[in-house]
Amino acid sequence: MPTCGPAQPRSNCGSTRCAGRFDTDAKTERLAELESLSGEPEFWADADRAQRLMKERGDIAAAIQTVEVPQTTVRDALDLCDMAEAEADASVLDDLMAQLRDVEGSLDKAEFARTMSAPTDRSPAILQINAGAGGTESADWALMLLRMYQRWAETRGMTVELLDEVPGEEAGVRNAVLRIDGDHAFGWLKAENGVHRLVRISPFDAAKRRHTSFCSVFVVPEEDDSIAIDINEADLRIDTYRSSGAGGQHVNRTDSAIRITHLPTGVVVACQAERSQHKNRNFAMKMLHARLVDLERRKRSAAKEEIEAAKMGINFGSQIRSYVLQPYQMVKDHRTGFATSDTAGVLNGKLEDLMTAYLLAAATGEPLKVQIDDE
């Protein structure tokens, strides 16, 4: 039977040398510290702090498990290999291969977990969609994107709140803002920042000609305490207006919607989700804070090329992803080369493969090969 090779000294796989960049020892020490803190009588006196530390404890425990599980599986496989050699039993090879496939899957998960390591990745996401070149076509495309992200979030068990929506003149929406909260909401959605291009036979064209439409998607974390932002009230222009929405008994007869313009930067945020002007103002201020934090983070970033690319116009040559429905069907991310022919699935919220390809490429700095799914 095939042998497993000469016996080798087995290292202590629980050490940081074996764990490498995962630094298991430091994480284990922090986990013990958090468990000790959670046992103190006054731990829950500050509920917000307690919940934050409990969330950190869960994240660290999961990170440790991503390292320890494959290590344990490898040790078990080596033991099984030794037994098979001693007994000249080739029947265990299938079990060995299954265990090694499990290890490979665990390592893939650990590698992907590195893409979600930033503190803001766990934050709720504020996602803004703006229709660009294309008139009614782009407004309808913006509505399609809005539904796509709503369905993606809902299938992952996330909560979705529509904070603002400006209807198009004939169809669709000109602008829309979503708040999405759930497991690593911003960590996933940061892959969507940029211009999205649609190619299709227009349902608004009687001649059934092919049209190209563009929309921009802008995503920021709801909060980032690592950057202090001081907002001066004198720098704000606050406008109130009547909320748009359903008619009949749902008509809002008061000017409860809020639009805030930060004059020094030109950043504009709006909220009309609530009937209370006070609540809408509070949430609009949160959105403004998140946008200003993102601007400051971009200023501090050394990746100037990426910053400039994010400022490109919503038109030809600036898209990060193309959704082609005619003359063939394909969704392709131009940053990674990843492509799929499952356009219906993507537009119904099946975004994980596209997001994962970008997040892994961004983490490694290596572009992926073009992949086309013909299923």
Note whether residue 371 is domain-resident.
no
The model's pTM is 0.62
**Structural domain ending residue among the three candidates 91, 116, 141:** 116
**Structural domain ending residue among the three candidates 64, 97, 116:** 116
Q: Are residues 198 and 53 in the same domain?
A: no
User: d(Cα 174, Cα 130) in Å, to the nearest integer?
Assistant: 6
Note whether residue 159 is domain-resident.
yes
Note whether residue 248 is domain-resident.
no
Note whether residue 145 is domain-resident.
yes
Q: Are residues 61 and 105 in the same domain?
A: yes
**Structural domain ending residue among the three candidates 53, 82, 116:** 116
Q: Are residues 110 and 129 in the same domain?
A: no
> What CATH number corresponds to the domain at position 109?
1.20.58.410
Q: Are residues 182 and 326 in the same domain?
A: yes
Total domain count, the chain: 2
DSSP 8-state symbol, 132: -
Q: Are residues 202 and 323 in the same domain?
A: yes
> What CATH number corresponds to the domain at position 145?
3.30.70.1660
Q: Are residues 103 and 130 in the same domain?
A: no
Q: Of 232, 354, 343, 219, which is closest to residue 285 (Cα–Cα)?
A: 232
241's tokens:
């207006």
Q: Are residues 107 and 162 in the same domain?
A: no
Q: Are residues 111 and 135 in the same domain?
A: no
Q: Are residues 186 and 312 in the same domain?
A: yes
Residue 113 and residue 175 in contact, taking contact as beta carbons nearer than 8 Å: no
DSSP for 226-263, written as a single string? TS-----GGGEEEEEEPPP---GGG---S--EEEEEET
Q: Are residues 135 and 214 in the same domain?
A: yes
Note whether residue 259 is domain-resident.
no
Note whether residue 254 is domain-resident.
no
SS3 15: coil
Q: For every one of its 375 residues, what pLDDT tens digit does the chain have, with 9 covering 90 and above?
A: 445 544 444 444 433 333 334 567 788 888 888 888 888 888 888 888 888 888 888 878 877 777 777 777 777 777 777 777 777 767 777 777 777 777 777 677 667 777 787 778 888 999 999 998 778 899 999 999 999 999 999 999 999 999 989 998 888 999 999 999 998 899 999 999 999 999 999 888 888 888 999 999 999 888 655 567 778 888 999 988 877 654 444 444 456 889 999 998 889 988 887 778 888 888 888 888 888 888 877 776 644 444 344 444 555 556 899 999 998 999 999 999 999 999 999 999 999 999 999 998 888 765 544 444 444
Phi, psi (deg, nearest 5) at residue 49: -65, -40
Q: Are residues 101 and 134 in the same domain?
A: no
Note whether residue 278 is domain-resident.
no
For residue 188, what are the domain limits?
123-226+302-364
pLDDT tens figures, 274-329: 778 888 888 888 888 888 888 877 776 644 444 344 444 555 556 899 999 998 99
Q: Are residues 316 and 331 in the same domain?
A: yes
- Other beta carbons within 10 angstroms of residue 231's beta carbon come to 13
Note whether residue 340 is domain-resident.
yes
